A and B are shown apart, each in its own frame.
Chain A
Amino acid sequence: MGGLTRSYFIQRVLMFFLTIWIGVTLTFVIPRLSGSDPTTAMLLTMMNQRGYVENADKIIESYKTSFGLNDPLPIQYIRYLGHVVRFDYGFSFARFPTAAWDMVTPALPWTLILLSVAAVLSFLIGVTVGSLMGWRKTPRWLQSILPISLTFTSIPYFMFGILLISIIAFKLHWLPATGGYSRSVDPGWNLPFIKDVLLHAVLPLISIVLTSMGGWALGMRGLMIGVNNEDYFLLAQAKGLSPARVFFRYGIRNAILPALTAFALGIGSLIGGSILVEFIFAYPGTGYTLYRAIQEQDYTVIQTITNLIIIITAAGVLILDLLYPLIDPRITYKRNVAS
């Protein structure tokens, strides 16, 4: 078994931290490069907008101390990294004295479940469609209807979401338009609630899956066409194996490896796009919390969510990276060379 070597493991874990570091550093540096000091700026905006802010002195005081506004930038930066490491970003701006972190945690499970289901589903469907499109033995009728599934590929998820809401929810009343569950059900482990939650998840899920699967399908089609011409694929056919076995063990089995790499690289943009879907559907996940935070100019919450999503994405990539050697015995360097 080739499997997971120590150097590969270390390399991937380092990549994990590097990715997070670059991400959180960009969110710190770029605003400050633009000239204005964001913390003062946001306090001013807030004062201007509301005229009167409850506990304004306390907020300003807590920020002056927790951000140390008078310290030089490097020190602020190091302190900021400390926040990132401890998952502690101080108080919510708009809802003092709630901690920013506590504003985000209730939303997290919604996002995690919706996004992981959507990502896996879109990848699985996309890979299946793409492999069938790229396989010579796929029946003619199937070959001709499969491209239909690519129709929505180029539409941004959230725009498709708007279309779905207006047609399926508002016009046809088939499914609920917004929210995570109805007011009329009791949250908890009871059947009506679970059913309600699932119904509310359908439209957001569809808008992500239908628009993102086409990308995987197209990639997989190309990879499958490539594998179709490989010598081992021809030999498998010459061996008189059943078409199913040739398709799965000698086709998909090989073509899916680069597709998985692409999937790991694509998780970030998938999650970014899905955040907007939550906002459109007022889904009680981090995306919607983020939207509200933007409306309320709640910068600490924005920062918390951004960094959290960066970390979650990096973790998803890390998990895929660590699983990869289990399905590709040739591992390590090779994958960096091509693709």
Chain B
Amino acid sequence: MASDQKVLEVNDLNVHYFTPRGAVIAANAVNLYVKEGEIVGLVGESGCGKTTVAMSILQMVSAPGRIVGGEIKIEGQNIVNLPEKELRKIRWRKLALIPQGAMNSLNPVIKIREQMEDGITAHEKVRGVALRDKVFKLLNDVGLPERVYNMFPHELSGGMKQRVCIAMAVALNPVIIIADEPTSALDVVVQRVVAQTLLDVKTRLGVSMIMIGHDMGLQAQMVDRVAVMYAGNLVEVGPVGSIFEHPYHPYTRLLIDAIPSTKQKKSLKVTEGLTHDLRNPPRGCCFQFRCPFVRDACREKPPAFKQMAPDHFVACVQY
């Protein structure tokens, strides 16, 4: 289903947060691409840098964070350090966001119609009835009634709000959508509805997507490829089938093992040790403090990516 055209490329991205006690390395030499019509899942535990990567792609890393190196290309155009004015033209038209947390992503004191319309009118010359009809259609597409048009966010449920956000994101047929944990903070049934809406819209529009999450189970059902992050580093990237069938990196295995299953009872695996202080990462592999298979070679230099299967790469000295 995906063509080979790369719509988004993240090359060697480095993001640091400058704190009084040293720079926190939130993204370290991250390389990632998304092909046309593809959904790439970006997973890892909280604080691993996945939201930082998302914010970098949106060029919305806020102080004290800063992109200190690398490039981000959308349809071949590097958007790192693009002037604000140029950037605004790309935002929403090519690059849309479905935010994390359904509760606060809509302005509580502005009507839904205005919040949906301003994103459209900022980039397109649509006015009056045409604009209203467009918003109606978008609402219909995500399965919301037209009366939502004149409502305030506090009159909607969490799931409805998140569907408004999805409708907003697809309004201008963007090249790529960043969905930042789109179903977190929703209850399980609503999660399914929202995830289904997302898939429907995606299939209909053929839009590419980066989906951020920590729930491997949800990822398995929605994405085409998975990228696993740990402490600011990508550790494994591959097609979803290949990764679930054969996770190479010990951390990926850990994540997959953490998916609860009804078929077998398994004891919860808790790895000892903490993530290292992100201000001064150890020499060598980023996972060495928690890895059950750690050996001397891990502490010497960071492992390079090796291809294990078609399109399936891992950074681990074992292979």
Contacts and interface: CB of A to CB of B under 8 A. Distances in A.
Would A and B touch once assembled, by the CB under 8 A criterion?
Answer: yes
A204 to B, nearest CB: 36
B107 A236 contact: yes
Interface residues of A, dominant DSSP: helix
Nearest to B110: A249
A242 B122 contact: yes
Interface string A223-261: 000000011101111111111010001100110010000
A210 to B, nearest CB: 31
A136 B118 contact: no
A231 B99 contact: yes
A240 B93 contact: yes
A330 B152 CA distance: 9
B294 to A, nearest CB: 38
A240 B88 contact: yes
A327 interface: yes
B152 A240 contact: no
Interface in B75-99: 84, 87-93, 95-97, 99
B60 A240 contact: no
A300 to B, nearest CB: 47
Contacts of B307: none
A232 B115 CA distance: 10
A88 interface: no
B8 interface: no
B109 A253 contact: yes
B154 interface: yes
Interface in A1-56: 2
A109 B263 CA distance: 82
Interface string B103-125: 01111111000100011001100
Contacts of B84: 243
B157 interface: no
A239 B96 CA distance: 7
Contact of A330 (B99, B100, B154): B154
Chain B: interface size category = 20 to 34
Contacts of A234: 60, 99
A241 B119 CA distance: 7
A239 B100 CA distance: 15
Nearest to B119: A239
A250 B96 CA distance: 18
A236 to B, nearest CB: 7
A330 B108 contact: yes
A329 B154 contact: yes
Given A245-B118, A253-B107, A329-B109, A238 B152 contact: no
B62 A136 contact: yes
Given A234-B99, A329-B152, A330-B152, A240 B107 contact: no
B105 A235 contact: yes
Interface of B: 58, 60, 62-63, 84, 87-93, 95-97, 99-101, 104-110, 114, 118-119, 122-123, 152, 154, 165, 168
11 contacts: A232-B106, A232-B107, A235-B105, A235-B106, A237-B60, A237-B91, A239-B122, A241-B119, A245-B118, A249-B114, A330-B154
